[in-house]
């Protein structure tokens, strides 16, 4: 990694040096590739958990190993801004939902959802992790997903996030204690795997 040769800190000299890196192929990516420093096509800084929500975007995520090695850079908001990185957020996730959900679901009020029987769409564990990342109590964050049905209902369907304000009862199976426990354990097991991956 040649990034280690760049000056750290947010001073004017450091920012000039960082700007000179634009166009250089020095961004280690999670898929093993190397990307260009570019503000027009930003790479995403995300934890392993966040990356697991968009598994098809490894070529857009900055390597976890690089984020650890160059922590001082990637935790410096001046560096992140100057180099044009995107920090994972609900809006980043919302802008890439077509990577996860069937395109036909976009702008649908209700869609059938039965992951155990092979219907299209996310698994229960993925949906569980999604709602850990995006708080149902954050109306602004939920509104970013208004085009997508991601709210489980008692009818076995997913309701559009655009209708979250009308109030709904979450699917019995999702809040059922036994299934909820299984989802928590599955998410925890995956979390341990992701943590181990982050530490490698």
What's the pLDDT tens digit per position in 104-158? 999 999 999 988 887 788 988 899 899 999 988 888 999 999 999 998 887 888 9
Work out the pLDDT band at 48, boundaries 50, 70, 90: very high
Mean pLDDT of 176-189: 53
Report yes or no: 66 and 28 within 8 Å, Cβ to Cβ. Answer: yes
Q: What is the Cα Rg of the chain in Å?
A: 19
What's the pLDDT tens digit per position in 95-110? 999 999 999 999 999 9
Mean pLDDT of 26-38: 86
Mean pLDDT of 157-176: 63
- Distance separating alpha carbons of residues 200 and 197, to the nearest angstrom: 5
Q: Look up the pTM and report it.
A: 0.74
The 8-class DSSP code of residue 65 comes to H
B/e letters for 89-98, b = 16+ CB within 10 Å, e = fewer, are: bbebbbeebe
Report yes or no: 173 and 155 within 8 Å, Cβ to Cβ. Answer: no
Report yes or no: 86 and 40 within 8 Å, Cβ to Cβ. Answer: no
What's the pLDDT tens digit per position in 58-96? 999 999 999 999 898 888 888 888 888 899 999 999 999
User: What pLDDT does residue 77 have?
Assistant: 86
pLDDT value at 27 more than 70:
yes
């Amino acid at each position: 990694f040649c990034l280690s040769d760049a000056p750290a800190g947010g001073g004017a000299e450091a920012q000039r040096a960082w700007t000179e890196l634009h166009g250089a192929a020095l961004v280690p990516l999670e898929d093993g590739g190397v990307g260009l420093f570019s503000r027009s096509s930003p790479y995403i800084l995300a934890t392993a958990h966040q990356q697991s929500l968009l598994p098809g975007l490894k070529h857009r995520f900055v390597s976890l190993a690089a984020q650890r090695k160059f922590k001082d850079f990637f935790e410096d908001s001046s560096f992140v801004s100057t180099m044009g990185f995107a920090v994972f957020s609900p809006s980043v996730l919302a802008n890439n939902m077509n990577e996860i959900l069937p395109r036909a679901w976009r702008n649908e009020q209700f869609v059938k959802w039965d992951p155990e029987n092979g219907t299209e769409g996310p698994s229960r564990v993925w949906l569980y992790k999604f709602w850990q990342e995006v708080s149902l109590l954050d109306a602004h964050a939920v509104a970013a997903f208004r085009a997508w049905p991601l709210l489980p209902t008692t009818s076995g369907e997913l309701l559009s996030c655009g209708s979250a304000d009308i109030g709904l009862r979450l699917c019995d199976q999702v809040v059922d204690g036994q299934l909820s426990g299984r989802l928590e354990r599955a998410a925890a097991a995956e979390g341990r795997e992701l943590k181990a991956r982050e530490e490698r």
